[in-house]
Amino acid sequence: MDVILSGLGQGFAVALQPFNLFLVLAGCFLGTLIGALPGIGPINGVAILLPIAYSLGFPPESALILLAGIYYGAEYGGRISSILLNVPGDAGAVMTTLDGSPMAKRGEAGRALSLSGVASFVGGSISIILMTLFAPMLAAFAVKFSPADYVALMVFAFLSLAALVGKSAVKTLLAAVIGLMIASIGVDANTGVMRFTLGSPDLMAGIDFLVIVIGLFGMAELLHLVESYARGTLKTLPVDKTFVSWADLFAVKWVMLRSSLLGFIVGVLPGTGASVASAVSYGTEKRLAGESGKSFGTGDIRGLAAPESANNASAGGAMVPMLTLGIPGSGTTAILLGALLLFNITPGPLLFEQKPEIAWGLIASMYIGNIALLIINLPLVGLFARLLTIPQQYLTPLITVLAFIGVYSVVGNPFDLYMVIGLGVLGWILRKLEFSLAPVILGVVLGNLFEDNLRRALSMSGGDWSILFQSVNSWALYGLAFAVVALPLVMRYFKRKRQASAV
């Protein structure tokens, strides 16, 4: 407990510096805006703004505070367009449209926005508190991990990714392996041997992380916007004067609590972020509601509170493995992890000891940001509602301009501009074929860590592969991996059996 309190003290000392405080607020504001704009979600927003934040020369903790603010701010903002436009602002807000939009249509837009704002706040707060309690514990535990344990952890991470993310497990796995293959391009750090550089000096240092992120998330998103453009003009419903009542909040208090816990846990699992969290919690609440759950989907406040608490809670949850193990809990935290690597900081169990200003500074900034977001999102919601109608024809070129400035100002190599476009087309095709892109970026970020630990483990054992299965930790992780893969299959089996007997 002492560690936590002194850590928090240190963190607030960082987060309350005027410059960092400004960045928290700027991040939260930008995040809400990015989340609210249909189409651009947290992952695209962070991807597009990462190189600019990097080239401004901020200290690493400040850059991370800003980018994280955009991340959890966007989880708040996504609900605005879900409710007012019936178009999810980002993938995590898909479930919010189900009950949020019917409420707005019957003239309760204000009530829906304020209720979901409070639900977001509850989800965010609970997950930050859980993060404060568990992250240092997990870090203290993970310090003892051997390279073989890390290999087991990676296997767990990639298998749970395959099992839980995307429509097809094989496609998700292939996407992750493509990411790992991209990471293997360049000079091998251990031996100095060139790998897959095709003799080109542009590829010797590997493909720059920023280029991959901007290409796959900025440019691919842009092409997606251009493709879906023809849908005509969207019409926003007005924000009316209705507001959430205490009775409403009292009615959903357990829903918010359960969904926050669930969202946090889903967030901690590697690779699964807001979209899985909100879908799981919505389904769970609907089932728990029993007979009265029939009103879900027609503007039930429980169906609005559940996904909003969960997707905000998942953002905090996803930070836990990123900071303590160096394994991102979601696609967006994979980009944050990559951002730290750009600053030559390797997150992992030692981060809390060696760079407390980063780990604790980030956590403290999230306390501040979450309160700021509640304030931004209750009275100022009308402002964001007006910004929703920025025409796509202006938004799309602006994304390109930001992306090009970012890539050029960091890398300064015109070759990379073409690379970004090429990766954008690849990312767009992958999306059309129902691949998810987050696993690719997880693969890119984790490639070196995975390979290094495997090589280190085997050099410790002199080439004996059985070292991978010798410690209790690794067995526990393989067990978890097996459970994550097997559980959905078992559940599907029982569901089918029950349906068969019901007929």
Partner 1 sequence: MADRIFAAITLLVVMAYGWAAFMLIKAPFQYDPLGPESWPRILSVVAGLCCLWIIFKPTVHEFDITKNSLVRIALMVGLLIGYAYLFEHMGFIIATALYCGASVKLLGGNVKQAVIFGVVTSVIGYLVSAKLLELNVPAGVFKNLI
Q: Please, which residue, 190 or 292, has the CB nearer to partner 1?
A: 190
Radius of gyration of the chain (CA): 22
Counting contacts by CB under 8 A, is residue 346 touching partner 1? Answer: no
Binding window for partner 1 (CB under 8 A); candidates: 65-73, 102-110, 348-356, 427-435:
427-435
Q: Do the Cβ atoms of 126 and 253 come closer than 8 Å?
A: no
Strand partners, 195: 186
Instruction: Tell me which of 68, 150, 428, 477 binds partner 1, using CB under 8 A.
Output: 428
Name residues whose C-beta falls within 8 Å of residue 405's C-beta, 6 or more positions apart in sequence: 52
Residues 104, 108, 110, 116, CA torsion sign: negative
Strand partners, 228: none
Q: Please, which residue, 162 or 280, has the CB nearer to partner 1?
A: 162
Six-digit token string for 482: 């097996």
Instruction: Tell me which of 227, 243, 390, 475 binds partner 1, using CB under 8 A.
Output: 227
Name residues whose C-beta falls within 8 Å of residue 206's C-beta, 6 or more positions apart in sequence: 183, 185, 186, 187
Distant-in-sequence contacts of 341-346, Cβ < 8 A, 24+ apart: 341/209, 341/445, 342/54, 342/209, 342/210, 343/54, 343/60, 343/63, 345/60
* Best CA proximity match to 336, nearest among 63, 38, 34: 63
Instruction: Tell me which of 257, 341, 405, 483 binds partner 1, using CB under 8 A.
Output: 405
Binding window for partner 1 (CB under 8 A); candidates: 32-40, 91-99, 179-187, 248-256:
179-187
Window 13-52: contact mask with partner 1 (x via CB under 8 A): ---------------------------------------x
CA–CA separation, 302 and 281 (whole Å): 11
Counting contacts by CB under 8 A, is residue 191 touching partner 1? Answer: yes
Instruction: Tell me which of 200, 393, 466, 499 binds partner 1, using CB under 8 A.
Output: 393
Q: How far is the CB of 225 from partner 1 (least distance, A)?
A: 9
Q: Please, which residue, 198 or 503, has the CB nearer to partner 1?
A: 198
CA–CA separation, 322 and 336 (whole Å): 9
Counting contacts by CB under 8 A, is residue 418 touching partner 1? Answer: yes
Instruction: Tell me which of 397, 475, 491, 493 binds partner 1, using CB under 8 A.
Output: 397
Counting contacts by CB under 8 A, is residue 463 touching partner 1? Answer: yes
Q: Please, which residue, 4 or 395, has the CB nearer to partner 1?
A: 395
Residue with tokens 């440019």: 219
Q: Do the Cβ atoms of 211 and 426 come closer than 8 Å?
A: no
Instruction: Tell me which of 133, 143, 204, 226 binds partner 1, using CB under 8 A.
Output: 226
**CA 92 to mean position of chain CA atoms:** 9
Binding window for partner 1 (CB under 8 A); candidates: 29-37, 168-176, 293-301, 333-341:
168-176
* Best CA proximity match to 351, nearest among 381, 372, 322: 322
Q: Please, which residue, 87 or 417, has the CB nearer to partner 1?
A: 417
Counting contacts by CB under 8 A, is residue 219 touching partner 1? Answer: yes
Counting contacts by CB under 8 A, is residue 155 touching partner 1? Answer: no
Q: How many residues bind partner 1 (CB under 8 A)?
A: 60
Residue with tokens 């503007």: 299
Strand partners, 346: none
Counting contacts by CB under 8 A, is residue 171 touching partner 1? Answer: yes
CA angle 277, 278, 280 (to 5 degrees): 65
Instruction: Tell me which of 12, 134, 343, 408 binds partner 1, using CB under 8 A.
Output: 408
Residue with tokens 């992750």: 176
Name residues whose C-beta falls within 8 Å of residue 349's C-beta, 6 or more positions apart in sequence: 139, 140, 141, 142, 143, 145, 324, 325
Could you please report the per-residue DSSP string of 221-255? HHHHHHHGGGG----PPP--S----HHHHHHTHHH
Counting contacts by CB under 8 A, is residue 401 touching partner 1? Answer: yes
Six-digit token string for 462: 């002199």
Window 260-299: contact mask with partner 1 (x via CB under 8 A): ----------------------------------------
Counting contacts by CB under 8 A, is residue 202 touching partner 1? Answer: no
By CB under 8 A, name the binding residues for partner 1: 52, 55-56, 167-168, 170-171, 173-174, 177-178, 180-181, 184, 188, 190-191, 193, 195-196, 219, 222-223, 226-230, 391-394, 396-398, 400-401, 404-405, 408-409, 412, 414, 417-418, 421, 424-425, 428-429, 432-434, 451, 454-455, 458-459, 462-463
